[in-house]
Each structure stands twice: as structure tokens, then as C-alpha cells.
Chain A
Amino acid sequence: MQAKINWFGIAGGIAVLLLICLSAYFPWWQLVVGENLVKANVSPIYTNFDFIGSSFTIPLLLALNISSVILMTVGGIALLIYSFKPLASYSRRLLSFGYKKPLYSLILFVVCLVAITLVVKSVWDLNVPLMGSAQTTLPSEMTQGATVSVLMVASFQWPFLLAIAAAGLCIAARFYDKKIATAQPA
């Protein structure tokens, strides 16, 4: 009997684990203010800020990043285990747990990013671009009477594309599972 393997699941699981490793070093989205004076390196895995030479993170974001690392790692491993034995009795539950994680991370990441830029715009009247560049004037209460304008450049980085690819492979694994299940002899 030919062993059934979900190749999309293997590719998706590896892509998810690779994404976690790479995202610790490369952000999904980056905002640069001025000539590298301020940098925001953002991803669901690791978020930090470089501010005029000093680097820091927001503790609550760090906690959520750790949550994301744990969930995506467990999800990736679950997907890999499922993929080698997709017909085992426990596999359907592993697939159900694993394939959603990168998709949820991707959706939550984009939603949070859009929400944060909108909140910053409404609270501080700062026009932070999601993609591309924007010249923004800081509120006068922050600048002691002077007019201070800064160039902000934002862009999605290549790990974001890898995240889309990983999510796509995981969804493909879910659909391929149906094909494996229907091909199983009664």
C-alpha cells in the first residue's frame, strides 16, 4: 500500500518554522523616519524600535510576540506530524490546529498595523504611511513652537511575502487533505 503524505502540509510546516526563524532577524514591515533616526521593525514574531541609536521594545508587544512564536511553532510542528501520517486518527485534529495559525497571524498583523496607523493619525495627527513615503509635520505641543517635519518611509519586507506563501501552503494542505481522504479505499 502506498504511503499517503500531504506534501503541501510538509512544505507549509517547513515554511512556517522557517518564517519564525527568519522573522526574529528580519521584520515583516519597517518604518524609517528621517535618515535612520527612528526605525520600527514590526512582525508578529519580533517587534522592536530603534530610536536615535537606542533600541527598545514594548513589553506588552513582546508578550504577544512570544505568544505568536509559541502558537506558530506548535502549529508548524503539528502540521508536519499530520503531513507524514494524514490518515491517522489524530491527524485531522493536528491539521485543524496547525493550518490556521499562519493565516490568523497574517490577518491579525495587517489588521493591527492598519488600526495602529489610524489611531496614530487620529490621536497625534501623524500621517504614518502603510506603504511608501509621507512628509509629516509633528504636533506643535511636541516641538516647543518650532515646525518640525519628518519624512517617513514604510514598506512591507520580504518575510511578509514568505508569510503569505506559508499561509497559502497551509491552506493548500487543508484542501489536499480532502483529496487524500476521498482517495482512501473504503
Chain B
Amino acid sequence: MQILGLILALISIGAVAGPVAGVVLVYQNNPVEMIVPSEIEALIDGSFGADEPFELPQYVSSSFDPSTQTLTATFSFANPFEFDLRVNSLSADVECAIHAFNLGHAELVDSVPIDAGDTAMIPVVFKWTQAAEDHFLTAHSGAASIDVELVNLGVDVSGIIIETPGSVSVNVPLPQ
């Protein structure tokens, strides 16, 4: 029975030492990769393993519909991953660029799916509030257009909520 005990002890030692020694041998030139593979390095350095850099939605253009008094700002969002994403929400506070007066809140109407490697246009809608109209009449009387800032930009991409300190400037024609 001594032999059986010896065999079992050797199995115990070999089962642990064998695979670990094998991995150490394979990664002897780069031992860090044994614990931190390249995928985790990509996560830490911010590239997230995509061929192209991951960027927040970029402002493209805006349009204003005087009949409904609705401003639509369009953002483009590129999905650099081999994985379908969904923009669940995109919102921003709208402020007068000169007076920092809060004109209201802009947001995405419906969620937008973005296929792997694709780029989608995301419309963000802002309807003038009564307070905004009052501000135009009192502070921008006679002006043909107004510069507004989209601040406190927030985007929810597949459950990841990103809030950026940056702002987007948009020139909007005023109803005459």
C-alpha cells in the first residue's frame, strides 16, 4: 500500500506542477503575460482591444423645425468592436452659450442599435420650452440665430453609462 500512497502523492504533485511548469515555459520570455494577457492590457490602456480607437459620439450637424420648434442634433457613433452595441440613451442639457441660461434638456427618442464595425447616426431631440422662448425674447430680441451649448453629455451604450465634461456648440436659427 506504500506504492499506492506514493503514486497518489506523485499524481497530486504532478497535477499541479506539470501545468504550471508548462505555462511558465511557454511564457518564459514574457512572464507578465502569464497573469495579464494582451486583452487585459488593452482594457487598461483604453483601446479595449478594438482595431480603431473607441470614441464617444461625435457631433455632426443640427436642424431646426420652426413649425414644431424642435432642434435635432445628430451625432455619429462608430462601433469599432466585433460586437453589436446599442445606444440606449444620449442626453444633454441645452444652455445659451452667452448667458449660460438653461434652455432645457435634449435626449434620444428611441434606442439605436449599432452593428459590429458599423457607424450609426444618432438624432438627439430638443423642443423649446416656454422658458427658452422667454429667454430668446428678452435676451436675444431681434437675433436671427443663437449659439447654444450641449453640456453634461451623457450616453448609455449597452449598459455602460458615460458622462463627459466636454460640451458641443450648436448654432440654431431663431423663429422670427
Contact = CB atoms under 8 A, between A and B. Distances in A.
B118 interface: no
B161 A63 contact: no
A47 B8 CA distance: 26
B16 A67 contact: yes
| Residue in B11, B83, B159 with the greatest tally of chain A CB atoms within 10 Å | B159
Contact of B20 (A60, A147, A150): A60
A145 B56 CA distance: 12
A35 B114 CA distance: 14
Contacts of A149: 160-161, 163
Nearest to A72: B15
Contacts of B44: 142
B82 interface: yes
Contacts of B48: 51-52
A93 interface: yes
**Interface SS, A side:** mixed
Contacts of B49: 51-52, 54
A66 interface: yes
Nearest to B164: A146
Nearest to B86: A35
Nearest to A138: B160
Contact of B160 (A37, A53, A66, A71): A37
Contacts of A62: 19, 23
A34 B160 contact: yes
B22 A63 contact: yes
Nearest to A38: B43
Contacts of A185: none
Nearest to A73: B15
B1 interface: yes
A148 interface: yes
Given A51-B49, A54-B49, A59-B27, A148 B161 contact: yes
Contacts of A150: 159-161
Given A71-B12, A93-B1, 17 more contacts: A33-B159, A34-B159, A35-B158, A51-B48, A51-B49, A52-B48, A52-B50, A53-B83, A56-B37, A57-B37, A62-B19, A63-B23, A67-B20, A71-B11, A74-B11, A78-B8, A149-B163
18 contacts: A51-B49, A53-B83, A57-B37, A59-B23, A59-B37, A67-B18, A74-B11, A93-B5, A94-B4, A142-B44, A143-B46, A146-B56, A146-B164, A147-B163, A148-B160, A148-B162, A149-B161, A149-B163
**What 6 A-B pairs come out closest when comparing CB atoms?**
A34-B159, A53-B83, A63-B19, A70-B15, A66-B19, A35-B159
Interface of B: 1, 4-5, 8, 11-12, 15-16, 18-20, 22-23, 26-27, 33-37, 39-40, 43-44, 46, 48-50, 56, 81-83, 86, 116, 157-165
